[in-house]
Chains A and B, each alone.
Chain A
Amino acid sequence: MSNSLRLFISVMFVAVMWPSAYAQDVSREQIKGLDEQVQEIKADALAIAAELNQLEEKLLYPSDTQIAVFVAWDSDETYRLDTIEVELNGEPTARHIYTFKELEALKKGGVQRLYTGNITIGDHAMHVFASGKSSAGFDVKNSKQFKVHKSVGPKIVEILLAPRSIEIKEL
């Protein structure tokens, strides 16, 4: 008994050391074939998304009234941005609470589209509020008012955030 047990355990040991292929009953060809079909449907979905985005933009945000507000991070300082709020003509327009991932994406140089909406041609008051925490753990609150001018064609406003400043760039 002892010898057969030893032999059994030894065989098991080899099996444990070198686990077998997992997808034994699922062939590589099956996996590959399905993967190619998944890639195709992804491409279809991307094409649909593009068409749907165009439709949405035309239907909801025609260029004459469209305003898009972007947020970019403009500092190397350590600072944890918590929220940003934007008011247009005194009306709350956009508010966002940042997750860790979003904050990291901003700090790596990504630009967040905060808001897309409609405004009339002419001058508008924009008020930006930002709050967060400094590296020392203190609450930091910032706000600044701007005047943005909307003319014919889509309006793009880029908010440049830093721990102690808020600036905008109009495009």
Chain B
Amino acid sequence: MLRLIAILAGLILLPVNTAVAEMSAPRELKDLYFGEALYCAFQEEWFDAIARLDTELAQHHRLDEREMDTLYYHINHAEFAVGDFELAYRMHQRAGRAITAVIEGNVEEPVRNEAIYRLARIYFQKDQPANAQFAVERIDGVIPEKIRENLDFLRAQIYMANGNFDKAVEILRRLQSTEKYKGFASYNLGIALVKSGKTQKGRYYIDLAGQVKSDQPLTLAIRDKANLVLGAKLLEEKKYEDAKTTLDRVRIEGPFSNRALLGSGWADAYQGKYERALVPWSALVHREVTDASVQEAMLSVPYAYGKLNIYSKAALMYDSALVKFRAEIDKLDASIQSIHKGHFLKALVREELKQDANWVVKLRSLPHTPETYYLLELMASHDFQESLKNYLDLEQLRRRLETWKSDLVAFEDLIAHRRAYYDPLLPVIDKEFRRLDSQMRLRLEQRDRIEKRLKKMLVVPRPDYLATSDERVLGEQIARLEEMLEKSGVSSNKASNASIRRLRGILTWNIYTQYDRRLTEAYKHLGELNDEIELLKKQYTAFVRSRQAATQSYEGYEEGISRLWSRISGAHEKVEALMERQGYMLETMAVNELTRRRERLSECEVKARFAVADSYDRATRELSQEKVNQ
């Protein structure tokens, strides 16, 4: 029974699961951010997957040279993936737009055809078979191998939804031999044939689907469903033996087994074989009491005993059924009350339940929560599933929005702290920086001048430029001595003049003969200076960058944050309003289902009450008759 919801949901959601299953990472991943989106998607974290991939795609499309971007290698895959993620997150409108963008883009035929297939699938899922038909008709040319069978099955489903059963039959015949659609194709083929008026042929294929061999849970479920459908039809037509054979093919522990056991019993009972009817019914009556088939078996078993004239046993069993019906009615009343008090919705969003695959069943063990066994079938229905998923998504959004609000508060705090720290500090730093900056500029100008001079000296040698400071001092001293000699009138002193000339000569000799070496050294020193300047420039740039970063760390955020506050608050309000409506819808569905089951149980209770009295009467009469006979 626990598997019922999973398998039924599986049958209903087969197309979406197929989309998720088709998702794969590129063989060689070049873009890590795309990989990150896939990492989220593989864990079914659809919101994060879409948010990351959206950002990456938007950045890619803003680039002038897209071929330089790593996403360029995966762009078609990424465009498809975002559509798939949106589809999985039940954003069909956006998924449709994303896929349409691929179709209208400049893409190769197989890519375009795959995109159209996905678009058609969205239309079909959203109950728009005419649009789906229009979409698949646009598929032309090469179809990727991996989607061929899926496309064929989708085509057949679309044809059936549009009432074009002949075309559906044509396709489904071909699909019968495929491993993936084994059972599904035959079952749908049978249904299509029946609907097109070829009842006998249709039954043949439903019967075929009911005998398909497989170990796949979904195929086994469709096999059971085929047998149940056919068995019920045969019962309706009073072909009881055939009905029994067909219904007995349903697995004893499968999701449709309770209904099959009930039907199998009726196939016997309608033929007056009450003893034989008791076999499936007695097996059924010990199963989960909340199941409608089991509840009906609780009336059917004593009914059969009554027919077999075992009135005392029938009376006792009706009695027992009455007690159980009352208990279940009380349970249903409590469940309806619990839903009205809002416990159902509160329980639905409990995190710990979602970690458990059987969370729907676990729900019932929580205090004040409704009896979810009664809601299993409802919960497996498409409308409820979609509404429930929307409600859970809204709850997730509500939590996100609350987190974002606290994030914004944290950001504002951070900005305020940074402002308080930098505001008094930066003017002092800026002043010191300006001083150092002017010094640096001066030194850089000096370096430039030296470089220019050295370059000129390569063309026009100027040894005097490379005189050492000592030599300059000596030169000046010699010039002073010459001046003094001239002023003292001893300039004619040949010995002094000769000494001074010799001194100047030596000085000039040194300067000129060492010029080449000095020029080489000067270049070497310039190179060393350049290294230092390079380091200085790096430090300068690093400082400028850090200085800019300091300002950017707290300036210019007000507008963005204020806009985000308003958007988040608006979205929060909307989410809460939608949650209320969606929650009310879920509660209504659940209460309606429980009320329907309660009404049915009340009717059973009334009938059982009459039947118990009747059985006691008959048992008493029988006893009296026996005494009379004795």
* Chain A residues packing against B (C-beta within 8 Å): 1-2, 5-6, 8-10, 12-13, 15-20, 22-26, 28, 30-31, 34-39, 41-56, 58-60, 62, 64-65, 70, 72, 101-102, 104-106, 108-113, 121, 152, 156, 158, 171
Whether B600 is near chain A, meaning CB under 8 Å from some CB there, is yes
Report the minimum CB–CB distance from A147 to chain B (whole Å). 20
Pairwise interchain contact B39-A1, C-beta atoms closer than 8 A: no
* B22 within 8 Å of A (CB atoms): no
The 9 closest A-B pairs by CB, nearest first: A109-B25, A110-B39, A111-B35, A105-B42, A23-B383, A49-B51, A110-B38, A1-B614, A22-B381
Residue picked from B90, B383, B552, most chain A C-beta under 10 Å:
B383
- Indicate whether A16 sits within 8 Å of B262 (C-beta atoms), given known contacts A9-B300, A22-B589, A64-B545: yes
Report the Cα distance A145→B381, complex, angstroms: 54
Is there an interface contact between B47 and A108, defined as CB atoms closer than 8 Å?
no
Q: How far is the CA of A157 from the CA of B226 in the complex (A)?
A: 55
Cβ contacts under 8 Å, B552 to chain A = 58, 62
By a CB distance below 8 angstroms, the chain B residues around A5 are: 299, 303, 607, 610-611
Q: Is the CB of A42 within 8 A of B578?
A: no
Chain A residues with Cβ under 8 A from B479's Cβ?
A: none
Query: A72-B32, A105-B39 are known contacts; what are 15 more A-B pairs with Cβ within 8 Å?
Result: A5-B610, A17-B232, A17-B259, A26-B589, A28-B383, A30-B585, A38-B582, A44-B567, A50-B51, A55-B411, A56-B407, A105-B42, A109-B24, A110-B40, A110-B41
Task: Contact check, A108 vs B89: say whether CB atoms are below 8 A apart.
Answer: no
Decide if A2 touches B411 in the complex (CB within 8 Å). Answer: no
* A39–B97 CA distance with the chains assembled, in angstroms: 13
Q: What A residues does B563 contact at CB under 8 A?
A: 51
In angstroms, Cα B38 to Cα A17, docked, is 43
| CB-CB under 8 A for A70 and B593, given A34-B585, A59-B415 | no
- Assembled-state Cα–Cα distance A56/B161 (Å): 48
8 pairs, CB–CB < 8 Å, chain A vs chain B: A9-B303, A12-B299, A18-B232, A50-B55, A51-B560, A53-B51, A55-B561, A105-B42
Do residues A16 and B293 form an inter-chain contact, with CB atoms below 8 A? Answer: yes
Task: Assess whether B371 is interfacial by the CB under 8 Å rule.
Answer: no
Name the distance in Å between A67's Cβ and chain B's nearest Cβ: 13
Do A72 and B35 form a contact, CB below 8 Å, given A38-B578, A108-B24?
yes
Task: Report yes or no: B611 in contact with A55, Cβ–Cβ below 8 A.
Answer: no
Quick one: given A5-B303, A36-B93, A104-B42, are A22 and B383 in contact (CB under 8 Å)? yes
Which residues of A lie under 8 Å from residue B252 when comparing CB positions? Answer: none
Residues of B within 8 A of A9 (CB): 296, 299-300, 303, 607
Interface contacts (Cβ under 8 Å), in number, total 220
Minimal Cβ-Cβ distance residue in A for B549: A62
Stretch at the interface among B137-145, B339-347, B386-394, B439-447: B386-394
Contacts of B404 in A (CB 8 A): 48-49, 52
Distance in angstroms between the alpha carbons of A39 and B604 in the assembled complex: 43
Judge whether B582 and A39 touch: CB under 8 Å.
no
State whether B553 touches A62 (Cβ < 8 A): yes
Smallest distance from the beta carbon of A159 to chain B beta carbons, Å?
Answer: 11
Shortest beta-carbon distance from B298 to chain A in Å: 10
Q: Which of B91, B299, B592 contacts A43 (CB 8 A)?
A: B91
**With a CB–CB cut-off of 8 A, which chain A residues contact B393?**
38, 42
A16's closest neighbor in chain B, by CB?
B292
Decide if B123 is an interface residue (CB 8 Å cutoff). no
> Of B259, B542, B578, B593, which one neighbours A22 at CB under 8 angstroms?
B593
Q: For residue A102, which residues in chain B have a CB less than 8 angstroms away from its CB? A: 39, 43
Given A59-B557, A109-B38: A41 in contact with B54 (beta carbons within 8 A): no
Whole-angstrom CA separation of A48 from B400 in the bound complex: 11
Bound-state Cα–Cα, A43 to B51, Å: 10
Q: Is the CB–CB distance between A59 and B553 below 8 Å? A: yes
Chain B 578-628 residues near chain A, CB threshold 8 A: 578, 581-582, 585, 588-589, 592-593, 596, 600, 603-604, 607, 610-611, 614
Contacts of B588 in A (CB 8 A): 25-26
